[in-house]
Amino acid sequence: MKKKSGDGGRPDVLPGLGVPCAFRPEYLDFDRGIHVGNLNENERITRILKQSLETRYGQAFVTERWGRGVYWHWIGFLTRANREAKPVSSKVSFGCSKFFLMVDTGEKCAKFGLQVERGMVEPDGEHDRFLLGEDWDWHRLLAALKPRGALAKEMERLVMEEEFHIFAGGWRKHPGMISKENYPGVTKLRQMLENTPKDDWGGFQLYFRMGEDEVKRSTGLDLVESMLAVFREVTPVMNACMQAPVAEQE
């Protein structure tokens, strides 16, 4: 009988990537966040996803996080090449499109997909390092949101057919939550993004969500494969925003 990952037997390996995976569903904790500390390398989701993305796309990724200690709330993965391609913001990860994973303890769900950030437009002295740069991917996202454009078709497919969700607006003020039931189209979506309060940190997320019950019913390998499948789905949107697009290795 095959032993389960993490029980002392040989861990599962992600098909086609060769990355060992002993991740467990309980590492997505809906009260505390994403369990990343005090784990083996093949159990830590940061390591598993980073290795998988680097194998899939054949280039280096940088890991970003929000949180501290054993549990983190949000983890992002951005390509080093895209960051280094920026003439002004080559050391600023905020300006880069990124794959992300988070546990929303309020909504009791896990979210994974694409995130593009918009810094603050109006400086306040305290948060000047978060100012929107002229070479941030945010500008490419807005430019690509055109009616009847390739990005419009892809966005509509993901939301209306694949039931992805969108966050658009300020993190603190006037956040916009979009799903299949209220998808407004790319013109109004762009307006929502443009209307993000200038004194707020803004952003765009295109993501798939899994509720607590669904996560608990899954295996760790299933969850990681689902995350990577979602990352693949949002890659065309991500590429439309980046100076240095990614391509899968043959």
**pLDDT value at residue 9:** 45
As to burial, measured by CB atoms within 10 angstroms (0-12 exposed, 13-18 middle, 19+ buried), residue 135 is middle
Contacts of residue 94, defined as CB under 8 A and 6 or more positions apart, other chains included, come to 117, 119, 130, 136
pLDDT tens digits, 136-157: 999 999 999 999 999 999 999 9
**Count of residues making up the chain:** 250
CA-CA-CA-CA torsion sign (189, 195, 197, 203) = positive
> Residue 116 in contact with residue 203, Cβ under 8 Å?
yes
> Residue 228 in contact with residue 146, Cβ under 8 Å?
no
**pLDDT value at residue 10:** 53
**pLDDT value at residue 125:** 75
Buried b (16+ CB within 10 A) or exposed e, 172-198: eeeebebeeeebeebeebbebbeebee
* pTM of the full structure: 0.94
Cα separation, 51 vs 232, in Å, equals: 15
Residue 188, SS3?
helix
Q: Which fold has domain 13-241?
A: BirA Bifunctional Protein; domain 2 (3.30.930)
**pLDDT value at residue 128:** 72
pLDDT tens digits, 176-194: 999 999 999 999 999 999 9
> Residue 102 in contact with residue 34, Cβ under 8 Å?
yes
Beta bridge partners of 129: none
**pLDDT value at residue 175:** 81
Q: Which stretches of the chain score pLDDT less than 70? A: 1-11
Alpha-helical regions (H) of 95-219:
137-144, 150-156, 186-194, 212-217
Cα separation, 111 vs 45, in Å, equals: 14
**pLDDT value at residue 236:** 97
Give me the residue spans of the domains in the chain: 13-241
